[in-house]
Structure 1
Amino acid sequence: MERFVDEALVLSTLDYGEADRLVTLLTREHGKLTAFAAGARKSKRRFAGALEPFMRLRVQLVETRGSTVRLDSADIEAGYYSARQDLSLIARALYAVELCRELTRDHEPHPELFALLEEYLGRLDAKEAGPTSLLAFELSALAHAGLMPRFDACTLCDGPPGEQPRFDQTHGGAVCEPCSGRARDAVAIPPALLSGLRALQEGQRTPLPPELRARARGLLNIFIAHHLGRRLKSVDFMAQVGLD
């Protein structure tokens, strides 16, 4: 059994048995891993509050015969404690880690996605990530996962979206009016929303006004749910907190 050390972000945890815990990690070099932490719920010394969502850790892991690895130790490198004091920041962080968990497969390295999530959590902790930044994070995460929605042209004819564009999650993005008959689920969207999302994809960080931001949030929720086959649980939590 090989023992290795890696950097990791905690995506989620699940209590197992009376004292153990299963921890889903996004590691820098080994991708998403499910780690078995024996006695994690009883031992205050071994893991000392490290096994909580969106902690950044240095972990010592051991490969086992199955797909699950064994977690031998975890040292906290960043707890993002300032973000944990604000419910809106907690909601955004939980959404970000759940999205990364669902977009990735076990044991497939995603160093760019790790860096993206690490950077976003750091910005949340420093109170430097406004509401629009979550949309930018999502678009980048989708791009790293090979699920980039298209906003620059019609996904069906490759022509310009036009003055009355639509969005269709099934076809993966914008649909022009002439092609809308071939996109049964397409919904009309303002041209300004299309250009705003395209600008975020291109790396611009100009904040979207609240109305467009709410529309963008709805579009991405539908798009992500379509490709994942389910709605992310943290979407409902963000709605409860009052975030668009």
Structure 2
Amino acid sequence: MPTYRDAAVVLRTHKLGEADRIVTMLSREHGKLRAVAKGVRRTSSKFGARLEPFGHVDIQLATGRTLDVVTQAVTLDAFGQGLIADYPRYTAGEAMLEMADRLAAEEGEPALQQYRLLVGALRVLEAGITSDGPRPPSMILDSYLLRSLAIAGYAPSFDDCARCGTVGPHQAFSPAAGGVVCENCRPAGSARPAAETLALLGALLEGDWPRTRDAEAMAVRQASGLTAAYATWHLDRNLKSLAHVER
């Protein structure tokens, strides 16, 4: 069988037969992949531990009829080792993996930007340190969620009206409308977050960590709630992992 190599982050696994697993990954060159890892549930497996969620691996696969088969796996980053002992970071990481899985819907479709964003976010989450110093796991997660949605074509607006483009700032926020809206476009039930919250959301979307340095606790909580609502609306369903994230 012909083989190929790629770098990938393991998103999830599930059992197949008595000793095998199906591994779902987000790869650099081939987007989302599902492949069979044979014998990895045996204690004698030479690469079973490398193919667990959060594993960042250099992987070789053999092309199969229905699913490709993992033939080699070399660890590039073992993000799980740094996250599993810290509940807030671990649950934030689980939400990142679930989001990546949802957004990379089509197997085999290149998703280089999503792959790079996920690897970078997991690296920051594991260290707990951004380019501007430490930040809580929930804030790192919110930045990842907003930026991954933007890459997928669902970029929210936190300044100009998302519907008519009227120059902001505006006070109302509607996930269904695509972000902040002016008074003329404001749907019923729109939220009215504090100006500090919208400024924080804009900084998280841009990955501008210095602007998040002095964020107040209320703004951080509001930003997390609005980010979750926005993600849920555009994914058409909840991210199950968000229920376990400490905010």
Could you say which residue in structure 2 is the equivalent of 1:91?
A: 91
Secondary structure of the residue aligned to 1:64 is: coil
Distance 1:65 1:59 in 2: 19
Could you say which residue in structure 2 is the equivalent of 1:77?
A: 76
Secondary structure of the residue aligned to 2:129 is: coil
Could you say which residue in structure 2 is the equivalent of 1:155?
A: 162
The alignment's C-alpha RMSD in Å is: 1.8
Instruction: Please tell me whether residue 46 in structure 1 is matched to residue 53 in structure 2.
Output: no
Secondary structure of the residue aligned to 1:12 is: strand
**1:56·1:77 contact (CA, 8 Å) conserved in 2?**
yes
- TM-score of the pair, normalised by structure 1: 0.89
When residues 233 and 22 of structure 1 are mapped into structure 2, their CA distance, relative to the original with a 3 A threshold, is same
**1:59·1:73 contact (CA, 8 Å) conserved in 2?**
yes
Could you say which residue in structure 1 is the equivalent of 2:179?
A: 173
Instruction: Please tell me whether residue 201 in structure 1 is matched to residue 205 in structure 2.
Output: yes
Matches within 5 A, 1:1-244: 1-42=1-42, 44-66=44-66, 68-80=67-79, 81-105=81-105, 106-129=107-130, 130-131=135-136, 132-162=139-169, 165-180=171-186, 183-205=187-209, 206-207=212-213, 208-238=215-245, 243-244=246-247
Distance 2:169 2:83 in 1: 41
**1:4·1:62 contact (CA, 8 Å) conserved in 2?**
yes
Instruction: Give how far 1:28 is off.
Output: 0.8
Residue by residue, what CA displacement relative to the aligned partner does 1:135-192 show, whole Å, maximum 9, x if unpaired?
22222211111111111211122113445x1111112111122321xx2342222122
Distance 1:203 1:228 in 2: 22
- TM-score of the pair, normalised by structure 2: 0.88
Identity of aligned residues (%): 33
Secondary structure of the residue aligned to 1:10 is: strand
When residues 47 and 134 of structure 1 are mapped into structure 2, their CA distance, relative to the original with a 3 A threshold, is same
Instruction: Give how far 1:46 is off.
Output: 2.9
Secondary structure of the residue aligned to 2:71 is: strand
Residue by residue, what CA displacement relative to the aligned partner does 1:195-218 show, whole Å, maximum 9, x if unpaired?
221122233112332211111111
Distance 2:188 2:73 in 1: 49
Q: Unpaired segments of 5 or more residues in structure 1? A: none
1:136 alignment partner AA: S
**2:200·2:223 contact (CA, 8 Å) conserved in 1?**
no
Distance 2:129 2:219 in 1: 21
Secondary structure of the residue aligned to 1:47 is: coil
Secondary structure of the residue aligned to 1:74 is: strand
Residue by residue, what CA displacement relative to the aligned partner does 1:50-106 show, whole Å, maximum 9, x if unpaired?
12111111111122233x322222222211222332111111111111111111121
Aligned length: 236
Secondary structure of the residue aligned to 1:148 is: coil
